[in-house]
């Protein structure tokens, strides 16, 4: 059996698969009030009776920089990569580290693997991964576009274009959101960058904003409060002033909730136009993620008025856990 752990910024999911990759069991836990060790205890308790049959375990790791491969056995060097890039994904890498350490202790005879989100974008063209800042400074601090949600974008690619013959714009919309341009199987650009903060407005993260806003607010309210605002109190939540949850926003009738939805759809539409230009046309726009897959209204708002681009629209059910399980099987 294969156990896959997906630690997010506010929750942790697991799925257990049999040898034919059929799902046996799954659950999602919120971090609200629970320490990771307690969450791990709950997972192991739920899997009692299967623990001895779990031969492999995989973990989604958000940030591996340009040092990580697609799938890597969990070794000391692998853990050092995860730890090195933890400051650039503070809501994702640290919980993943805790989960790995906790489950290695609970499942010592299991082989453990790390699947890295950034690996899919490892070979982005220089023109899209280079930031227009002093390149000596950029090189010293490894500042470049890394890209995230690579497991999801790769999943969409393989479902829609397994022969890698199309120009695709893949859109992952969820608590975190990103959009990518893929040309014949190769990603050429993506909205998330040095960290998972850049790009589309998200549930709590701001996405693209004028960098001078950060500098201005750091002087006015301090760096700590500014960081907290753009990471935890911006995006859909910041605009609406009530919630960043899309289901709640769709049920609300106040103007700011409506505006939050419109801003997300408008900015996603702008990215589609930009990536269509970068690709020289687009064959298919693919949606996934809980919002992208789950809301026909959001998909319609995003694609309306884009008929002139003449693309097909596809919807892929998100399943990063199955994608990771398949990567693990490929290592055998």
128-146 confidence digits (pLDDT tens): 999 999 999 999 999 999 9
Residue 302: partners with Cβ closer than 8 Å, 6 or more residues away: 171, 265, 268, 269, 272
Could you identify the residue written with the tokens 């002139």? 308
- The most distant pair of C-alpha atoms in the chain lies apart, rounded to whole Å, by 57
Q: Are residues 170 and 303 located together in one domain of the fold?
A: yes
Whether 117 is catalytic = yes
In a domain, 127, yes or no: no
Could you identify the residue written with the tokens 């690996």? 119
Last residue of a domain, one of 72, 91, 122: 122
Q: Are residues 244 and 300 located together in one domain of the fold?
A: yes
What local confidence, expressed as pLDDT, does residue 249 receive? Answer: 96
Which of 70, 117, 183, 189 does the annotation list as catalytic? Answer: 117
What local confidence, expressed as pLDDT, does residue 145 receive? Answer: 97
Q: Are residues 171 and 309 located together in one domain of the fold?
A: yes
Residue 43 has a CB neighbour count (10 Å cut-off) of 22
Q: Are residues 218 and 282 located together in one domain of the fold?
A: yes
Q: Are residues 184 and 236 located together in one domain of the fold?
A: yes
The per-residue pLDDT for range 160-173, each reduced to its tens digit, is 999 999 999 999 99
Q: Are residues 81 and 193 located together in one domain of the fold?
A: no
The per-residue pLDDT for range 200-214, each reduced to its tens digit, is 999 999 999 999 999
Range of the domain at 111: 2-122
In a domain, 326, yes or no: no
Instruction: Please state the rounded mean pLDDT for residues 107-134.
Output: 96
Closest by CA to 4, choosing from 30, 26, 32, is: 26
Q: Are residues 116 and 215 located together in one domain of the fold?
A: no
Token couple for 277: 């230009």
In a domain, 149, yes or no: no
In a domain, 286, yes or no: yes
Mean pLDDT computed over every residue of the chain: 94
Last residue of a domain, one of 122, 154, 172: 122
Whether 12 contacts 6, CB under 8 Å? yes
Residue 88: partners with Cβ closer than 8 Å, 6 or more residues away: 63, 65, 146, 194, 195
What local confidence, expressed as pLDDT, does residue 38 receive? Answer: 85
Q: How far apart are CA 30 and CA 10, in angstroms?
A: 6
Whether 101 contacts 35, CB under 8 Å? no
Per-residue confidence band for 48, with pLDDT thresholds at 50, 70 and 90: confident
Q: Are residues 114 and 195 located together in one domain of the fold?
A: no
The residues with which 16 forms a beta bridge, in sequence order, are: 3, 25
Q: Are residues 202 and 291 located together in one domain of the fold?
A: yes
In a domain, 237, yes or no: yes
In a domain, 266, yes or no: yes
Q: Are residues 118 and 258 located together in one domain of the fold?
A: no
In a domain, 103, yes or no: yes
Helices (H), the chain: 36-46, 76-84, 93-106, 126-129, 135-140, 150-160, 211-221, 223-232, 235-240, 246-251, 255-279, 289-294, 296-303, 320-329
Last residue of a domain, one of 96, 122, 148: 122
The per-residue pLDDT for range 236-291, each reduced to its tens digit, is 999 999 999 999 999 999 999 999 999 999 999 999 999 999 999 999 999 999 99
In a domain, 131, yes or no: no
Q: What is the CATH number of the domain that holds 292?
A: 3.30.420.40
Q: How far apart are CA 227 and CA 59, in angstroms?
A: 27
Q: How many domains does the chain have?
A: 2
Q: What percent of the chain has pLDDT over 70?
A: 98
Q: How far apart are CA 223 and CA 232, in angstroms?
A: 14
Q: Are residues 25 and 109 located together in one domain of the fold?
A: yes
Q: Are residues 195 and 64 located together in one domain of the fold?
A: no
């Amino acid at each position: 059996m294969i156990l896959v752990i997906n630690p997010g910024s506010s929750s942790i999911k697991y799925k257990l698969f049999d040898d034919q990759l059929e799902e046996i069991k799954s659950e999602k836990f919120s971090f609200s009030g629970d320490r990771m060790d307690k969450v791990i205890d709950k997972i192991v308790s739920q899997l009692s009776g299967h623990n001895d049959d779990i031969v492999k375990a995989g973990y989604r790791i958000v940030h591996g920089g340009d040092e990580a491969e697609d799938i890597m056995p969990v070794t000391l060097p692998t853990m050092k990569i995860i730890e090195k890039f933890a400051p650039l994904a503070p809501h994702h890498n640290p919980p993943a580290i805790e989960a790995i350490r906790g489950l290695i202790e609970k499942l010592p005879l299991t082989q453990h693997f790390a699947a890295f989100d950034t690996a899919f974008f490892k070979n982005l063209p220089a023109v899209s991964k280079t930031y227009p800042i002093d390149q000596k400074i950029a090189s010293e601090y490894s500042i470049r576009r890394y890209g995230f949600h690579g497991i999801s974008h790769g999943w969409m690619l393989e479902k829609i274009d397994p022969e890698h013959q199309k120009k695709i714009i893949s859109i992952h919309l969820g608590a975190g959101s990103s959009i990518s341009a893929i040309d014949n199987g190769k990603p050429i650009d993506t909205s998330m960058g040095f960290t998972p903060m850049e790009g589309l407005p998200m549930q709590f993260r701001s996405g693209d904003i004028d960098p001078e806003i950060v500098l201005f607010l750091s002087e006015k309210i301090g760096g700590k409060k500014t960081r907290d605002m753009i990471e935890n109190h911006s995006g859909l939540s910041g605009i609406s002033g009530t919630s960043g949850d899309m289901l709640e926003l769709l049920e609300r009738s106040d103007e700011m909730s409506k505006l939050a939805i419109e801003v997300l759809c408008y900015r996603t539409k702008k990215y589609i136009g930009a990536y269509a230009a970068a690709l020289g046309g687009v064959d298919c726009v693919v949606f996934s993620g809980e919002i992208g897959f789950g809301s026909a209204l959001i998909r319609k708002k995003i694609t309306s008025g884009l008929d002139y681009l003449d693309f097909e629209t596809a919807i892929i059910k998100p399943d990063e856990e199955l994608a990771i399980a398949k990567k693990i099987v490929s290592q055998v």
